Amino acid sequence: MTETNRRSRRRFLRVAGAAGVAGLAGCSAEPTGESTSESAGGTSDDQVTTAGTTTGEPTESTADTLVVATYPPFVNAPSTSPGAWLKREFESEFDATLVYQTPDSELNYYIERAVQGVDFEADVYVGLDTGQLIDADGQRGEGQFTDPLFAETTDLAGIDAVKDGLLFDPRNRAVPFDTGYISLVWNATMDGGDFVAPETFEELASADYAGDLIAQNPTTSTTGEAFMLHTVDAFGADGYLDYWERLQDNGITVLGNWSDSYSAYLNEEAPMVVSYSTDQVFASAEGQDLQKHQIRFLNDQGYANPEGMARFASSDAPRLARRFMEFVLRPEIQAGIAQRNVAFPAITDAPLPEDYAQYAKEPAEAVTFTYDDLEANLSTWTDQWARRFAGG
């Protein structure tokens, strides 16, 4: 696509808004259907109505356009989403129009277009995790596309405030903007009010908790993958499958994605579910019984799952994309995103309200694998799990 055509296309995006690019959504990749905004509930003020993959109306006909790609719940979760709020805050300060693209297959949509040699208009991707970044790099490494999908970002204002251990991209392309911790959520009203969740992985696999856990398939769910990786950390690459064998013998229920498993948990099909340690934030806001939303960090640990943002290398608005990324790292914006995405800020000094800190639980120790660890081993670990347990 020529530079003139790209600029013409961006003017069309600015004018057309949501209806203009409805045809962008066609992609064969399987969406995970989850986000760290999990079960969050909120107000209609934070909603954006989507058509196809692009949302947002122009605020100035002469303004620049920033096209932000993200996963659908970031914009249109059935409860609260940061997307609409972030758009308003950004446009109120910058002479620019922010337009969202939310393909169902998320980052895979853009990877597939790069593999096919087809141009796309997105400038920034918001919601990138380590596994997705490895997927993108792996496709390029196989020679399916030669140019990098994301650009390196250096000297970004605000990046020094990002918490230790959350920077997951050794090539300085993806910048964390929030994080979640995987934990058990458990219902203290079950078993006549006598149920108490286990404190360790060993206890979880004991007969005392037979049939008590709902988890997700690590090959189809971000949450399930994180829980599997936590077991790899706890039992080693040579022992995690044996541990899962014990869980299977103990009656674990494994469903395809977070939504299905959490719905089953709310229906009291089991007293525990693998979920996020921010669960009480939503439950409290909705006036739910917190006894049904207790948090347990096995071995006093939680698997950290940071989300990042990165500029597409093909962006024709690199300066505006950089300003957006710096804007997202500001303390007040970090706090706003965290509350609406039911997550933790990526930086150390975001001004969260007191009640949020009360209900959002952080583990004594965060566990995660580095990019290099996952690049070398993730596909092997998930393939081994699938061969042993898929369909079981």
pLDDT reading at 131 higher than 80: yes
pLDDT at 376: 95
**Tokens 């994180």 belong to residue:** 226
pLDDT at 59: 38
Domains of the chain: 3-179+305-359 (3.40.190.10), 181-304+378-389 (3.40.190.10)
pLDDT reading at 323 higher than 70: yes
Over residues 119-142, mean pLDDT: 87
Q: Is 124 left (phi over 0), alpha (psi -120 to 50) or beta?
A: beta
pLDDT at 144: 59
Who has greater pLDDT, 207 or 14?
A: 207
Phi, psi of 215 (to 5 degrees): -130, -175
pLDDT reading at 40 higher than 60: no
Confidence of residue 13 (pLDDT cuts 50, 70, 90): very low
- As a whole number of angstroms, the distance between CA 229 and CA 168 comes to 15
pLDDT at 147: 80
The whole-angstrom distance between residue 388's C-alpha and the CA centroid of its chain comes to 27
- As a whole number of angstroms, the distance between CA 331 and CA 161 comes to 9
- As a whole number of angstroms, the distance between CA 124 and CA 70 comes to 8
Tokens for 319, please give them.
């300066």
pLDDT reading at 151 higher than 80: yes
Phi, psi of 316 (to 5 degrees): -100, 15
Highest mean pLDDT pick, 69-78, 115-124, 205-214: 205-214
- As a whole number of angstroms, the distance between CA 292 and CA 246 comes to 26
Q: Is the dihedral of CA 332, 335, 341, 347 positive or negative?
A: positive
Over residues 68-78, mean pLDDT: 91
Confidence of residue 64 (pLDDT cuts 50, 70, 90): very high
The pTM is what?
0.79
pLDDT reading at 11 higher than 80: no
Q: Are 290 and 188 in contact (CB under 8 A)?
A: no
From the CB of residue 235, how many other CB atoms can be counted at a distance below 10 Å?
A: 17
pLDDT at 142: 52
- As a whole number of angstroms, the distance between CA 114 and CA 149 comes to 7
Q: Are 23 and 120 in contact (CB under 8 A)?
A: no
Confidence of residue 46 (pLDDT cuts 50, 70, 90): very low
Calculate the average pLDDT of the chain. 85
Q: Are 66 and 319 in contact (CB under 8 A)?
A: no
Tokens for 64, please give them.
């620049």
pLDDT at 8: 41
pLDDT reading at 120 higher than 50: yes
Comparing 29-33, 47-51, 119-123, the range with the smallest average pLDDT is 29-33
Who has greater pLDDT, 196 or 39?
A: 196
pLDDT at 77: 80
Confidence of residue 35 (pLDDT cuts 50, 70, 90): very low
